[in-house]
């Protein structure tokens, strides 16, 4: 099977380890779009020669494609990797209720989404969905076993509208628990900063899935302190509260557990160790290659018709 992967030069987290792993199993060509090519997505797709491939996997988020999504109707054997589909259900997202409509309008394609609960929600809208969680790049992230001089740390953005619930939560922890909110460049600076943190605070509030930073922090030896996503997400990922992660439900719960953790440094170290073991065993990019190859090569299902609710006449008279 011939596969074309279309990704981006400017990407916060590289997927090269995953893509190169896939290329060991399939006849693969990988193209990385410049920002100019991405902004001119319609013409770029038309010039790819996509008709010469059995499958075309697009690693460009729908939020970046914008109005150009219509050109994807011309692409057969289409696979869309989408890590932001949770925004379909976020009350703070300008893309709320837009993902499913646009995907359905594209026609037959397979969606690879990164959360089990979100995958089920989108699949129920008549779309072909495979859920494969995010992971971490084992070729670049690891425990350096250096001194951890940051007791409580967070790395990431807070100003984007869709993260509206994240900011007040983190700012309260800064004021009352000395949380250090950090920004780093990708690569070596990110690696070394994660390795300085004892407890990594994850604030994926309202996402209903776990972002890549959770796995990355655990791989670097941090104890993960994460918002419980629910919907069997923890069970399917192997996250066990107080064993390999510590989960919180709301601000009061988080503050109580942070106080408990500060009084139990041995527990923090033990949970961090178990968390690192978990992600090294189950959540590397290398471990994702097999399910990706299976998702790419399987037959793509047509878009299913949605069941319309019965009319008022039928509800009244039955039938």
Q: Which long-range contacts (CB under 8 A, 24 or more apart) does 165-174 make?
A: 165/92, 165/205, 165/206, 166/203, 166/204, 166/205, 169/203, 169/205, 169/251, 169/254, 170/201, 170/203, 172/251, 173/201, 173/254, 173/255, 173/258
Residue 240 main-chain phi, psi, to 5 deg:
-120, 115
Nearest-10 Cα torsion for 7, 282, 226, 61: 10
| pLDDT value for 307 | 65
What pLDDT tens digit does each residue of the chain (319 aa) get?
A: 999 999 999 888 899 999 999 999 999 999 999 999 999 999 999 999 999 999 999 999 998 998 999 999 999 999 999 999 999 998 888 889 989 999 999 999 999 999 999 999 999 999 999 999 999 999 999 999 999 999 999 998 877 766 777 888 999 999 999 999 999 999 999 999 999 999 999 999 889 999 999 999 999 999 999 999 998 999 999 999 999 999 999 999 999 999 999 999 999 999 999 999 999 999 999 999 999 999 999 999 999 987 665 555 554 554 4
Confidence at residue 309, expressed as pLDDT on a 0 to 100 scale: 53
> What was the pLDDT predicted at 92?
81
- Whole-prediction pTM: 0.91
Residue 319's pLDDT is what?
47
For the chain, domains (ranges, CATH) are 2-135+285-297 (3.40.50.2000), 150-282 (3.40.50.2000)
Say if residues 103 and 127 touch (Cβ distance below 8 Å): yes
pLDDT of residue 308: 63
| pLDDT of the residue at 93 | 84
Nearest to 73 by CA among 83, 92, 58: 58
**pLDDT the model gives residue 40:** 95
């Amino acid at each position: 099977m011939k596969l074309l992967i279309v990704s981006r030069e400017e990407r916060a987290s590289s997927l090269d380890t995953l893509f190169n792993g896939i290329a060991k199993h399939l006849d693969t060509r990988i193209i990385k779009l410049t920002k100019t090519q991405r902004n001119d997505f319609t013409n770029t797709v038309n010039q790819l020669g996509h008709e010469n491939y059995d499958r075309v996997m697009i690693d460009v988020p729908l939020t970046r494609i914008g109005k150009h999504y219509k050109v994807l109707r011309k692409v057969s054997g289409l696979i869309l990797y989408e890590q932001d589909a949770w925004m379909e259900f976020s009350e703070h997202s300008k893309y709320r209720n837009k993902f499913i409509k646009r995907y359905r309008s594209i026609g037959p394609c397979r969606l690879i989404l990164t959360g089990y609960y979100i995958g089920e929600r989108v699949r129920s809208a008549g779309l072909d969905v495979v859920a494969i969680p995010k992971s971490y790049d084992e070729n670049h992230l690891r425990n350096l076993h250096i001194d951890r001089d940051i007791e409580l740390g967070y790395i990431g953005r807070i100003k984007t509208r869709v993260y509206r619930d994240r900011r007040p939560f983190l700012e309260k922890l800064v004021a009352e628990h000395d949380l250090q909110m950090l920004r780093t460049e990708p690569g070596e600076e990110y690696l070394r900063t994660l390795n300085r943190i004892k407890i990594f605070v994850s604030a994926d509030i309202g996402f209903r899935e776990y972002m890549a930073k959770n796995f990355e922090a655990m791989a670097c030896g941090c104890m993960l302190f994460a918002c419980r996503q629910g919907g069997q997400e923890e069970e399917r990922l192997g996250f066990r509260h107080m064993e390999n992660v510590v989960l919180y439900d709301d601000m009061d719960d988080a503050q109580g557990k942070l106080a408990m953790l500060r009084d139990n440094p041995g527990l923090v170290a033990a949970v961090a160790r178990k968390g690192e073991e978990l992600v090294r065993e189950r959540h590397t990019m290398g471990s994702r290659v097999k399910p990706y190859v299976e998702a790419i090569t399987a037959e793509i299902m047509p878009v299913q018709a949605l069941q319309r609710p019965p009319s008022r006449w039928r509800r009244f008279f039955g039938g």
